[in-house]
C-alpha cells in the first residue's frame, strides 16, 4: 500500500513558520536578551549580587531554564509533538556515543581555530564552544553551579529545544531542510560570532544523530561529554598547559583511527527536491527573520558590553 500524502498550501506553511518564528522571538527575548539586560542592571545597581556567585548564577539558572523550556513547550503543544516522538529508548552503547563525541570535538576544535583566526582581525575571538546564556569565564570555572549549568543543564536545554522540538517540527517539511535550519538557529543563539561556525557544524552533527536514532538521548550524552571535555581543557593547571597541544593532537589521531577503523558511523540525510522552495519560505517569513535578527543583535550587544 502506498503511503498517502496530504498537500498543503503555501499560505498554510507560511502560517506554520510564522508560529515557529513567534515562539523563537519569545525565546530570544527571555532567554538571551533578558539575562543580558539583567547583567547590566546588576553591574551598575546591584554589584553585591554579581559578587555573590551562587545567587548570580542561581538567577541565571532560573531565567535560562524557564526562558527556554516555556516557549519550546508551547511550540511542542501547538504542533502536537509528543515527548515520545523524540525521546525513545535507543540501542546505541556508551562507547558508540563516546566515539561520536570525540569526532565532534575534533571537528569543532578545528573549525573554532579557523573561525578564531578569521574573527581575530576584528577583535571578536571566541572561547571554544559556549552554551546558551553562558560563556567560559576563567574566574568562574570553579563555581559548582556554573559547572553544573555548563556540563549538564545547557546540553539538556539545547537538545530539548533544538534537536527535540525544533528539528522534529521542521522535519515535516524535509529532513535536510530541518537539519540546516535548526543548526542555523542553534548557531545564532550563541554568544560570540566566532563560535557560530563550529556551533553550526555541531548542530548539524547532533541533528543527524537525532534523526538517526529518533531520540535526543544520544545527543544529550554526546553534548554532555563534549562540554565536559571542553571544561577539562579549561581547568588544566597552568604548569602543564604547554602539553595541551600534545593532548589535542592525541585526540585528533584517536578520531582519525576511529573513522578509518569504521567505529565512527557516518550519518547521511537524503535531500528532497522540494527543499529549495521550503528554504525560501522559511527564511523569508517575517517572524523567523525577526527572531534571527534578535539573536544576532544579542551577540552584537554582548560583544559591545565585553569590549567596554
Spatial neighbors of 6 by CB under 8 A, at least 6 apart, are none
Q: What is the pLDDT of residue 129?
A: 41
Query: Which region holds residue 306: left if phi is over 0, alpha if psi is between -120 and 50, else beta?
Result: alpha
Q: How confident is the model at residue 31 (pLDDT cuts 50, 70, 90)?
A: very high
pLDDT at 131 over 50: no
Give the Cα separation of 242 and 253 in Å (integer): 19
pTM, entire model? 0.87
Spatial neighbors of 308 by CB under 8 A, at least 6 apart, are none
Give the Cα separation of 26 and 4 in Å (integer): 35
**Helical spans, DSSP H, in the chain:** 10-27, 34-45, 47-51, 53-78, 94-119, 144-148, 154-158, 167-170, 175-188, 193-213, 217-234, 244-260, 275-283, 286-307
For all residues of the chain together, what is the average pLDDT? 82
Q: What percent of the chain has pLDDT over 70?
A: 85
Name, of 91-105, 193-207, 256-270, the range with top average pLDDT: 193-207
Give the Cα separation of 77 and 59 in Å (integer): 27
Q: What is the pLDDT of residue 146?
A: 81
Q: How confident is the model at residue 136 (pLDDT cuts 50, 70, 90)?
A: very low
Q: What is the pLDDT of residue 305?
A: 72
**Based on C-alpha coordinates, what's the Rg of the chain?**
20
pLDDT tens readout for residues 210-222 = 998 889 999 999 8
Q: Which of the pair, 119 or 273, is modelled with greater confidence?
A: 119
Q: What is the pLDDT of residue 140?
A: 66
Query: Region 84-95: what's the mean pLDDT?
Result: 79
Domains of the chain, residue spans? 10-307
Q: What is the pLDDT of residue 243?
A: 67
Query: Region 114-121: what's the mean pLDDT?
Result: 77
Give the N- to C-terminal CA distance of the chain in Å, as an integer.
65
pLDDT at 98 over 70: yes
pLDDT at 6 over 90: no
Query: Region 4-15: what's the mean pLDDT?
Result: 74
Amino acid at each position: 500500500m502506498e503511503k498517502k500524502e496530504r498537500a498543503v498550501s503555501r499560505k498554510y506553511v507560511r502560517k506554520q513558520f510564522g508560529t515557529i518564528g513567534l515562539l523563537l522571538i519569545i525565546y530570544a527575548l527571555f532567554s538571551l536578551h533578558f539575562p543580558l539586560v539583567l547583567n547590566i542592571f546588576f553591574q551598575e545597581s546591584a554589584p553585591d549580587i554579581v559578587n555573590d556567585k551562587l545567587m548570580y548564577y542561581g538567577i541565571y539558572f532560573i531565567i535560562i531554564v524557564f526562558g527556554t523550556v516555556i516557549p519550546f513547550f508551547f511550540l511542542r503543544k501547538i504542533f502536537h509533538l509528543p515527548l515520545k516522538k523524540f525521546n525513545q529508548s535507543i540501542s546505541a552503547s556508551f562507547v558508540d556515543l563516546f566515539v561520536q563525541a570525540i569526532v565532534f570535538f575534533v571537528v569543532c576544535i578545528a573549525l573554532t581555530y579557523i573561525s578564531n583566526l578569521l574573527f581575530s582581525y576584528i577583535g571578536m575571538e571566541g572561547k571554544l564552544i559556549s552554551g546558551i546564556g553562558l560563556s567560559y569565564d576563567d574566574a568562574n570555572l570553579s563555581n559548582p553551579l556554573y559547572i553544573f549549568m555548563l556540563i549538564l543543564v545547557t546540553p539538556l536545554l539545547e537538545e530539548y529545544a533544538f534537536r527535540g522540538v525544533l528539528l522534529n517540527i521542521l522535519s515535516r517539511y524535509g529532513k535536510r531542510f530541518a537539519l540546516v535550519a535548526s543548526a542555523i538557529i542553534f548557531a545564532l543563539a550563541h554568544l560570540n560570532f566566532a563560535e557560530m561556525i563550529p556551533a553550526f557544524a555541531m548542530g548539524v552533527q547532533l541533528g543527524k544523530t537525532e534523526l538517526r536514532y529518533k531520540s535526543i538521548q544520544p545527543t544529550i550524552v554526546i553534548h554532555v561529554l563534549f562540554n565536559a571535555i571542553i571544561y577539562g581543557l579549561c581547568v588544566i593547571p597552568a604548569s602543564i598547559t604547554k602539553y595541551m597541544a600534545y593532548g589535542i593532537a592525541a585526540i585528533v589521531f584517536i578520531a582519525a583511527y576511529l573513522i578509518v577503523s569504521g567505529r565512527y558511523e557516518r550519518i547521511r540525510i537524503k535531500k528532497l527536491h522540494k527543499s529549495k522552495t521550503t528554504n525560501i519560505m522559511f527564511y523569508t517569513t517575517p517572524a523567523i527573520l525577526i527572531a534571527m535578527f534578535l539573536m544576532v543583535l544579542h551577540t552584537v550587544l554582548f560583544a559591545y558590553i565585553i569590549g567596554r
